Amino acid sequence: MKDTLIVWHSGEICNTNFFNRAEEKQTAWLLVRRGEVVCALCSGALAVHASYLRHYRDEEGKRHYGWIAQGRCDACNVYPALIPSFIMPHKHYKSDVVERVVGEAEAGRNVEHSGGCAADASTMRRWVREFEKRGEWAAGCLNSKLPAGDGGQGAPLDFQGMPLLQQLARLLRGYPAQGGGGVIGNVNIILTTRNCGFL
């Protein structure tokens, strides 16, 4: 059973290895041994436990099947899924597709006419509604947990009138580089590795 999840990013290799079960587990083992992926509950060492089949949809709606590594923390007795940052937790579409639709909505464009996305309009409107709720919460979490010494901490007035995606992108500057991916993927890396949830 997957008790929790960790969104992680391992550069281009994460996209390539998604389609090869053995390479996905090998990459997960490598990052776990280096200490780059740790338990979100206790910050302790993980072991790679298993893997399972998962799919995502691209902007054209095409399904792509691949593998998700699953860790194990003996101290906490949890089995977190190690989800690549290009996959949205509990969503079928890639994170960059969802981010593009949200960006269109924040720019005042009608999501029904979002070019390049095969999702139906009701699905895209749901993404926007969920992001409005969870994005505000995520911005608050990131702002409150900024590393010490960051100039952006405690300056919420700077965000007045700024769309949520821009707020999150600005807050990400206060954190160590996540290794690529979009705003949503990088926010999910930070939130899940600190056991705060995800967008």
Q: How much is the pLDDT for 125?
A: 94
pLDDT score of 7: 86
Question: Tens of pLDDT along 75-87?
Answer: 999 999 999 889 9
Q: What is the mean pLDDT of the chain?
A: 86
Question: 180 falls in which pLDDT band (50, 70, 90)?
Answer: low
Same domain, 108 and 166: yes
Residue 49 pLDDT more than 70?
Answer: yes
Among the three residues 57, 84, 111, which one is the final residue of a domain in this structure? 84
Is residue 183 in some structural domain?
Answer: no
pLDDT reported for residue 112:
77
Contacts of 59 (CB under 8 A, 6+ apart): 93, 94, 97, 100, 116, 117, 118
Specify whether 64 is located in the same domain as 139. Answer: no
| pLDDT at 154 exceeding the cut of 60 | no
Supply the pLDDT for residue 148.
58
CA distance 32 to 125: 37
Q: What is the mean pLDDT of residues 55-84?
A: 93
Residue 196 near residue 167, CB atoms below 8 Å: no
State the average pLDDT over residues 135-141.
92
Whether 184 is covered by a domain: the verdict is: no
Count other C-beta atoms under 10 Å from residue 110's C-beta: 11
Q: Which of 101-115, 160-174, 179-193 has the highest mean pLDDT?
A: 160-174
Residues 69 and 101 in one domain: no
Read off the pLDDT of each residue in 6-14 and give the average, rounded to a whole number: 73
CA distance 44 to 138: 24
Q: Which of 18-27, 76-85, 86-95, 172-181 has the lowest mean pLDDT?
A: 172-181
37 within domain boundaries: yes
The count of domains in the chain is 2
Q: Is residue 171 part of a domain?
A: yes
Domain range spanning residue 115? 95-178
Whether residues 11 and 80 share a domain: the answer is yes
pLDDT at 165 over 80: yes
Claim to verify: residue 64 and residue 13 sit in the same structural domain: yes
Domain end, chosen from 41, 57, 84, is at 84
Predicted confidence band of residue 17 (pLDDT cuts 50, 70, 90): confident
Give the pLDDT of residue 11: 66
Residue 1 pLDDT greater than 70, yes or no: no
